[in-house]
């Protein structure tokens, strides 16, 4: 997929950004926003979609500045603690963005489990 990938630390600050040269111009900011959202709420962004729909108690999450409630923001954990997140934007749908983020995390999980 032609995506942008952002790795954020536990405070939501972007540490690494990689963008395919053919990824859309919106993808870096969206990827960083997904990562920020995942660490801010300590929840993968896909899990926030349903609980923040209009009429739901957490609907206000969608109005917070910087929150990106779309699939593709996945927390990175080490020893049961959130240490950051990966945000992916540009794949055809949030499920594909999620799959890319999870694959990236799985590739380095052994280095995180210390």
Q: What is the pLDDT of residues 38-86, one digit of tens each?
A: 999 999 999 999 999 999 999 999 999 999 999 999 999 998 899 999 9
Instruction: Give the model's pLDDT for residue 18.
Output: 98
- Structure tokens, 52: 């923040």
Q: In whole angstroms, give the CA distance from residue 114 to residue 109.
A: 10
Instruction: Give the model's pLDDT for residue 113.
Output: 80
Q: In whole angstroms, give the CA distance from residue 106 to residue 114.
A: 15
Those residues whose C-beta lies under 8 Å from the C-beta of residue 31, and which sit 6 or more positions away, are 3, 4, 5, 6, 17, 72, 87, 88, 89, 90
Looking at the chain, which runs of residues are DSSP E strands? 4-9, 14-19, 73-78, 81-89
Q: What is the pTM of this model?
A: 0.95
Dihedral angle sign, alpha carbons of residues 17, 104, 76, 47: positive
Rounded average pLDDT over 104-109:
95
């Amino acid at each position: 997929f032609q995506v942008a990938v952002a790795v954020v630390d536990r405070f939501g600050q972007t540490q690494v950004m990689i963008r395919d040269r053919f990824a859309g111009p919106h993808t870096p900011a969206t990827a960083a926003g997904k990562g920020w959202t995942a660490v801010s709420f300590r929840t993968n962004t896909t899990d926030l979609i349903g609980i923040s729909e209009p009429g739901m108690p957490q609907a206000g999450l969608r109005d917070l500045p910087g929150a990106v409630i779309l699939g593709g923001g996945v927390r990175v954990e080490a020893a049961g603690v959130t240490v950051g997140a990966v945000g992916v934007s540009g794949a055809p749908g949030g499920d594909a963005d999620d799959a890319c983020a999870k694959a990236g995390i799985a590739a380095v999980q052994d280095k995180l489990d210390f």
